[in-house]
Structure 1
Amino acid sequence: MNETTQSQDALRSEARIAHGALHRLRQDLFVDAFAFRPLPPLEDAKISRWVPWLPERLRRWARWLPHLTVGFFSVLVFLAGMADSGPGSLQGLLAAGFAVLVAAGPLLTLFRPVGAYWLSLFAFAVLGFAEVVFSSYPTMYGTLFGSGAFPTLLAVMVLVVLRTRPRLAVEMWLVTFGVAGALTVLVGADPGDLPPVAVFCGAVLIAAAAVRAWREERRQVVETQSATQEERTRRTLLEERALIARELHDVVAHHMSVIAIQAEAAPYRVKDTPPELATSFATIRENAVAALAELRRILGVVRSADPDAFAESDPEAPQPTLGSLDSLLDSVRSAGLVVEAVVTGSPRPLPQGVELSAYRIVQEGLSNALRHSPGAEARVEISYVLGGLGVRIVNGAPSRLAKPSPGAGHGVLGMRERVQMLGGEMTAEPTEDGGFEVAAFIPVANTAGQTKTGGNRS
């Protein structure tokens, strides 16, 4: 009983496998067999990689090189089919018709690849059947695999595999040699040619399928790497925004605390404070305290992904400003970077968010100089101008080889995010001498009494 059940299960499994194979065969070769699938031109990046020496004008035509190659092959097939025909004779007319039928297959692969296979298989079957009908022309058709239709059919199958998917190699091989076996019996040809030709065609199609699988795998790897790079950039951007939010929390919290304290103290500074005014001050204080609570809650969410964000520094320490620039310069000088600082314009108090962002931009610019340009000299310029603050960090070319840095570009992303947050503009690009320059302008509301005196710090 158990053996019978196991045998039935095995038969069902084999039936399911066979049904699945037939379903895939039907989907690949029969459903929408003549659907329009044009071959796109080559990408400019591939042309530049393959033939970088090609002039720019010729590169536009090089994009259509696969189409021109297949078209030239079709012309050769047509001319080969017309070689033995006599003009004006029945043989010539038949040869012309067969030549057009055979040559149309490769050309059709550019637009309808699976349909091109069926057309080439039909041409092969017609020429094979012609062995019986037109037996008076043995030199024209030769053996079943000796006519020009079969090499063309093989070329079409290779093109179809390269254009579609690897498994079509097996499916077309089975269909083709199934038809070839039937024709061999029908025309009474010698079946001795069938096995070696089948083995040779199988090897060619396997090679084409391997090339197609390699190309597909390479394309997926490139897509995965691109997606990974985009995800890494997006994650870095979110991390930078979280860092900015943590730093600006202290700035905003300070202002809200001042508002709450002043609102609480204001009623005591006015004799006989009207009840309405006292109520308004109380409401202001309550809203300020509620805003502080919300700020702390938001900061807790931001810090939850990085609980050790302030592990290397004092969380109660005030955020740095441009007044702390001297200590930063001393720090990078002790690390071996020769840096000069120049301040132009009249230094004036700026909003804390602007001071903090300017300090971080200078800090990141000098860190990049240390990391990517060892041995180079750097220059920091702080410009107090009408309407804003200018920051410029420039370094020369490195004097020795820099160590690879996996985080390259992320610091620039963070600086750009800070500047854009404050409505400013920033550029970061290499200099002509092999160094690097970061220049940013942060708009600040104008204040009266500004002068244009300058000074230097070193």
Structure 2
Amino acid sequence: MAHGALHRLRQDLFVDAFAFRPMPPLEDAKVSRWVPFLPQRLRHWMRWLPHFAVGFFSMCVFLANLTSSSEPGSVHSVLVTGFSALVAAGPMLTLFRPVGAYWLSLSAFVVSAFVYAGFSSPFASLFGGAAFATHLAVMVLVVLRTRPRLAIEMWLVTFALSAVVTALVGKDTGDLPPVAIFCGVLLVSAAAIRAWREERRQVVENRTATAEERSRRTLLEERALIARELHDVVAHHMSVIAIQAEAAPYRVKDTPPELATSFATIRENAVAALAELRRILGVVRSADPDAFAESDPEAPQPTLGSLDALLASVRSAGLTVEAVTTGAPRPLPQGVELSAYRIVQEGLSNALRHSPGAEARVEVSYVLGGLGVRIVNGPPSRLAKPSPGAGHGVLGMRERVQMLGGEMTADRTEDGGFEVAAFIPVSHTAGETRAGGKA
């Protein structure tokens, strides 16, 4: 244990003692939170407030040591000026080389002790000068800038050396224990503040990392869900292509061999694509084996035509919801209808979860060039239960809309409710072409 303690003491106070470790300015967010009323330019300079405070303290120490001596003489003035600069350099050096500042300040205190002992009463204390008060301030600044354990190490070195110096100059050691106790309490308090700040910083970092990881995991889960659903949509179309290609030669009398070969190739490629889709879907579903625990994995994906069943389900759960459809309903790509259905489903689920007792309204607008979906609910009539992972449903809805090249907004309303509005662009679809041709 003694060997380990000496090793740590050597690593902390002797190895690279004068290494360059500049103190960074305050963060902009912290300054804005403390003084939000200041202009932007002044807030920028407020980031350097700790540096200005330490510099002002060093200047005060320098001037105080200059004015403490009234003896005339050019040589004496030069010595006093040099000693004052040595004492004042300690606090300033903590901004750049904290451990080196400790040794410089300790050296100034030792020099001051020997000089003070030669020109003062035998009963005068070595700790009454400005050099020791400045050294104590330097130790506090070093602890606040480095690590808490330096408080004990610097305290031991300082007062061990103080005991030696007191014995050498023949001064009374009666005031050494109370001064040591006072400095120990002060340094331990500074170490506690430093440890609390470090712990708080780690907590903030862990929370930030946890939130980012949760958001990333939710995004990946939502993308996997979209991939599974789009597989069913694409698989349907590929199945139709394979069936049509297989049946086409039988619908044409005296089919040319070249045309039959082309249809066979189309069918083979469609079947191969279906096999690849099933293989990819197996990989995606293997990471979440319970994704379809409550539904038939072979069931068709829902569309806007299934909204009535969804509304009946949420009404049975206690949500009063009104549905309004504007424009002329028309066939849309299955991916668009599936995403619109999921957006409505998630919006109503959020209303049930976060706004109990509120009324909701669902608007589906068939407009030129796309589909508009709006889900709005009023303020809750009672307190909602805590729900972990809040906001991830909005993230999934936004991911679906961005995948289809649309736009979405989600924000609170003026009356305390919540509104989700999305627009999904739709090009001229095959369904519209067929409808137009029949008309």
In 1, Cα distance between equivalents of 2:217 and 2:126: 63
User: Partner of 2:343 in structure 1?
Assistant: 361
CA RMSD of aligned residues (A): 2.5
Q: Secondary structure at the match of 2:411?
A: strand
User: Partner of 2:112 in structure 1?
Assistant: 127
Q: 1:183 pairs with 156, 165, 168, which one?
A: 165
User: Partner of 1:11 in structure 2?
Assistant: none
Greater shift in the superposed pair: 283-292 or 65-74? 65-74
- 1:86-235 paired onto structure 2 within 5 Å: 86=70, 88-89=72-73, 90-131=75-116, 135=118, 137-138=119-120, 142-235=124-217
User: Partner of 1:287 in structure 2?
Assistant: 269
In 1, Cα distance between equivalents of 2:43 and 2:116: 47
The one-character-per-residue Cα deviations of 1:373-427 (angstroms, maximum 9, x if unpaired) are 2232222221212221111111222232222211310110111111111121111
In 2, Cα distance between equivalents of 1:327 and 1:29: 73
- 1:285-324 paired onto structure 2 within 5 Å: 285-324=267-306
In 2, Cα distance between equivalents of 1:450 and 1:152: 89
User: Partner of 1:3 in structure 2?
Assistant: none
How far the C-alpha of 1:75 sits from its partner, in A, is 3.0
Change (3 A) 1:270 1:385: same
In 2, Cα distance between equivalents of 1:449 and 1:214: 68
- 1:318-397 paired onto structure 2 within 5 Å: 318-397=300-379
User: Partner of 1:71 in structure 2?
Assistant: 55
Letter in 2 for 1:24: R
User: Partner of 2:227 in structure 1?
Assistant: 245
The one-character-per-residue Cα deviations of 1:3-39 (angstroms, maximum 9, x if unpaired) are xxxxxxxxxxx6xx52x44443333223333333222
In 1, Cα distance between equivalents of 2:329 and 2:434: 9
In 1, Cα distance between equivalents of 2:381 and 2:72: 81
Q: Residues 131 and 187 of structure 1 are in contact (CA less than 8 Å); yes or no, is this contact kept in structure 2? A: no
Identity %: 80
In 1, Cα distance between equivalents of 2:267 and 2:164: 95
Letter in 1 for 2:62: F
Letter in 2 for 1:197: V
How far the C-alpha of 1:244 sits from its partner, in A, is 1.5
Letter in 2 for 1:236: T
Q: Residues 124 and 171 of structure 2 are in contact (CA less than 8 Å); yes or no, is this contact kept in structure 1? A: no
The one-character-per-residue Cα deviations of 1:139-182 (angstroms, maximum 9, x if unpaired) are 7x953222111111111011101101112222222332333233
Q: Residues 371 and 424 of structure 2 are in contact (CA less than 8 Å); yes or no, is this contact kept in structure 1? A: yes
In 1, Cα distance between equivalents of 2:157 and 2:195: 21
The one-character-per-residue Cα deviations of 1:360-384 (angstroms, maximum 9, x if unpaired) are 1011111111221223222222121
Change (3 A) 1:193 1:450: farther
In 1, Cα distance between equivalents of 2:434 and 2:110: 93
How far the C-alpha of 1:445 sits from its partner, in A, is 0.9
In 2, Cα distance between equivalents of 1:415 and 1:301: 23
How far the C-alpha of 1:187 sits from its partner, in A, is 2.1
| Number of equivalent positions | 430
Q: Secondary structure at the match of 1:306?
A: coil
TM-score, length of structure 1 as denominator length: 0.86
In 2, Cα distance between equivalents of 1:415 and 1:143: 74
In 1, Cα distance between equivalents of 2:32 and 2:93: 28
TM-score, length of structure 2 as denominator length: 0.90
In 1, Cα distance between equivalents of 2:167 and 2:383: 74
Q: Residues 390 and 442 of structure 1 are in contact (CA less than 8 Å); yes or no, is this contact kept in structure 2? A: yes
User: Partner of 1:456 in structure 2?
Assistant: none
Q: Residues 424 and 443 of structure 1 are in contact (CA less than 8 Å); yes or no, is this contact kept in structure 2? A: yes
In 1, Cα distance between equivalents of 2:322 and 2:200: 49
1:426 matches 2:408: yes
In 1, Cα distance between equivalents of 2:219 and 2:333: 24
In 1, Cα distance between equivalents of 2:330 and 2:34: 58
How far the C-alpha of 1:350 sits from its partner, in A, is 0.5
Letter in 1 for 2:301: Q
Q: Residues 346 and 450 of structure 1 are in contact (CA less than 8 Å); yes or no, is this contact kept in structure 2? A: no
The one-character-per-residue Cα deviations of 1:304-358 (angstroms, maximum 9, x if unpaired) are 1222222212223211111111222222223332322222222110011110000
How far the C-alpha of 1:196 sits from its partner, in A, is 3.3
In 1, Cα distance between equivalents of 2:257 and 2:72: 117
Q: Residues 93 and 100 of structure 2 are in contact (CA less than 8 Å); yes or no, is this contact kept in structure 1? A: yes
User: Partner of 1:8 in structure 2?
Assistant: none
User: Partner of 2:13 in structure 1?
Assistant: 29
How far the C-alpha of 1:87 sits from its partner, in A, is 6.9
Q: Residues 31 and 46 of structure 2 are in contact (CA less than 8 Å); yes or no, is this contact kept in structure 1? A: yes
Letter in 1 for 2:57: F
Q: Secondary structure at the match of 1:401?
A: coil
1:46 matches 2:30: yes
Letter in 1 for 2:86: L
The one-character-per-residue Cα deviations of 1:267-291 (angstroms, maximum 9, x if unpaired) are 2222332333222222221221121
Letter in 1 for 2:252: V
In 2, Cα distance between equivalents of 1:44 and 1:337: 45
